[in-house]
Amino acid sequence: MSSPHTPGVDAPASPPTVERSTGDLVRAAVSGWLGTALEFMDFQLYSLAAALVFSQLFFAGEEPGMAVVLAMATYGVGYIARPLGAWYFGRMGDRVGRRRVLFYTILLMGLATTLIGFLPTYDQAGLIAPILLVLLRLAQGFGAGAEISGAGVMLAEYAPARRRGIIASLVALGTNCGTLFASAIWALLLAVMMEEDVIAWGWRIPFIASAVVMVFAVWVRFRLKESPVFEERTDVVDGKALSRDELVDVATRSNDLRSLEALRRKPVKATIVSFLLRFGQAGNSGLIQTYMISFITITLAVQKGVGPEIVIVSSLIGFATIPLVGWLGDLFGRRRMYIIMTSLSLVLIIPTMLAINTKEVGWIFVGYAVIHNVSVLGLASMENISLPEIFGARNRYTLTAIVREIAAIIATGVGPIIAAAWVAATTGSIIPVMVLLGIYTACALIAAIVAPEWTGRDLTDPRSAM
């Protein structure tokens, strides 16, 4: 049983007193889905471009193996700015509301991605080309640092307590849609254009076309109402959160014991558990969705069109996996589902990686789809609702965003670089990938085992779940 200070499944959420219509919930869901779709479309566009053409376009003076490492390193640069964006926009979101911040992040992220499509290449501008690419990746990462966290927080605070998992899974579906859309564009380009045309100018099309999604997402968010949980918080007055000193004074006079306890008790365990849950999923995502495309294309020497095609097939399967896992998390509790999914993931690493390593296209499809859906998409479905549920109302956006992005910069930003260098040092062995996947997945499993259940708690509670 959970203690009174660790509200979980046996401490049901109180219904919000601030009313939101079904239409408001739909707009919040579409907003979160669009923003996350754009974020992951942006990053998948780059990861596929890094695997397929950027090593030739922006690092043309290097040896092929080193050019891939540099292209992956530039992918990782985007993660350097994400914690800064998480801290800056997260604090703003907890102070003045979620809606305004989500408007800023989508605009910054979308503009940076679109501008990548207008960059000169190394042959055209020399060293200035990779420098500009790095700067745009930093801007993109700064906006993205609070995007998916804000979308997850907004949907968690809008959704009915017993349906949070399946509704918040729309955020994970957005990641899937973005990945699918980016992969489909690349697959289409490679199918209808000559390779030299793709390298000459065709690679620009996906980045410029992303502006369409950005404009639609900005329009939806302009019409979005503020989170009902934010408006209901006892420390929010006239749409702005009280300072710590002001809250202490107000809580003392009103005998608000929950707020006083939240100010006194640091969310250390909540932060560690959340970090490890995110670290496991983010690490798997970086290896499977980013590095494995390079491994299949360059190390295994499979034709370039196969990489985007297997991502498309696996992402289509994910449209069933993501809401199913979200629904099961609502039904059985997210802690239990984490334990099941991470244990299954550990069992599947060796057979799926060996299937990919056969170089047979059919087995590559099977191995990739299975490990991608279990170790990346399934965990993402639960993560997007788990982190907002674990943290208390006053600092939910800030802590969710910072934990997500610090874990990402360590796991996803660095993981593909380590994998590329390690595989190169072992002359193409897939064993380093297996080892890294095992480490990442075990971190999430350990966190779920040591944590109390957090599903369904009152999101207006300023205290963290543990």
The residues near 340 (Cβ < 8 Å, ≥ 6 apart) are none
Element (H, E) at 241: strand 240-241
Distance CA 422, CA 438 (A): 15
Q: What's the pLDDT score for residue 407?
A: 92
Distances in Å between the alpha carbon of 427 and those of 359, 387, 430?
16, 39, 9
Q: Which residue has the higher pLDDT, 47 or 241?
A: 241
Q: Let me know the angle formed at the C-alpha of 326 by 322 and 332, rounded to the nearest 5 degrees.
A: 140
The lowest-confidence range among 16-20, 85-89, 93-97, 426-430 is 16-20
Q: Residue 56 phi/psi, 5° resolution?
A: -85, -30
For residue 312, name the pLDDT band (cuts at 50, 70, 90).
confident
For 115-152, the pLDDT digits (tens) are: 988 988 877 887 788 788 888 888 888 998 898 899 89
First CA to last CA distance, the chain: 13
CB 341 within 8 A of CB 374: yes
For 254-293, the pLDDT digits (tens) are: 888 999 999 999 999 999 999 999 999 999 998 998 788 8
Mean pLDDT on 181-205: 82
Element (H, E) at 237: strand 236-237
Counting residues of the chain whose pLDDT is more than 90, the rounded percentage is 42
Q: How many CA atoms lie within 13 A of 320 on its CB side?
A: 6
CB 358 within 8 A of CB 374: no
Q: Say whether pLDDT at 5 is over 80.
A: no
Q: Say whether pLDDT at 352 is over 90.
A: yes
- The encoded tokens of residue 234 equal 């006892």
DSSP SS3 for 240: strand
Q: How many CB atoms lie within 10 A of CB 422?
A: 15
Mean pLDDT on 22-41: 85
Q: Residue 443 phi/psi, 5° resolution?
A: -60, -45
Mean pLDDT on 452-465: 93
Distance CA 221, CA 28 (A): 8
Total-model pTM: 0.83
Q: How many CB atoms lie within 10 A of CB 126?
A: 12
Q: Residue 237 phi/psi, 5° resolution?
A: -130, 125
Q: Say whether pLDDT at 342 is over 90.
A: yes
Q: Name residue 237's beta-bridge partners.
A: 240
Counting residues of the chain whose pLDDT is more than 70, the rounded percentage is 91
Report the amino acid identity of residue 50: A
DSSP tag of 411: H
Q: Say whether pLDDT at 410 is over 90.
A: no
For 355-406, the pLDDT digits (tens) are: 999 999 999 999 999 999 999 999 999 999 999 999 999 999 999 999 998 9
Backbone conformation region of residue 457, classed left if phi is above 0, alpha if psi is from -120 to 50, else beta: beta
User: Considering only CA atoms, which of 263, 282, 250 is closest in space to residue 384?
Assistant: 282
Q: Say whether pLDDT at 458 is over 60.
A: yes
For residue 11, name the pLDDT band (cuts at 50, 70, 90).
very low
- DSSP output for 162-204: GGHHHHHHHHHHHHHHHHHHHHHHHHHHHHHS-HHHIIIIITH
Q: Say whether pLDDT at 9 is over 60.
A: no
Distance CA 341, CA 11 (A): 25
Structural domains in the chain?
22-226+248-450 (1.20.1250.20)
Mean pLDDT on 62-73: 61
- The encoded tokens of residue 217 equal 């997402």
Which residue reads 């966290």 in tokens?
Answer: 149
Q: What's the pLDDT score for residue 7?
A: 42
DSSP SS3 for 236: strand
The residues near 242 (Cβ < 8 Å, ≥ 6 apart) are 235, 236, 250
User: Considering only CA atoms, which of 116, 13, 125 is closest in space to residue 74?
Assistant: 116
Q: What's the pLDDT score for residue 4?
A: 39
CB 342 within 8 A of CB 445: yes
Q: What's the pLDDT score for residue 276?
A: 98
Distance CA 316, CA 326 (A): 17
Q: Which residue has the higher pLDDT, 23 or 456?
A: 456
DSSP SS3 for 217: helix
| Bridging pattern class, strands 236-237 and 240-241 | antiparallel
Distance CA 295, CA 433 (A): 10
Q: Say whether pLDDT at 44 is over 80.
A: no
Distances in Å between the alpha carbon of 369 and those of 188, 323, 376?
20, 17, 10
Which residue reads 């380093």 in tokens?
Answer: 432
DSSP SS3 for 243: coil
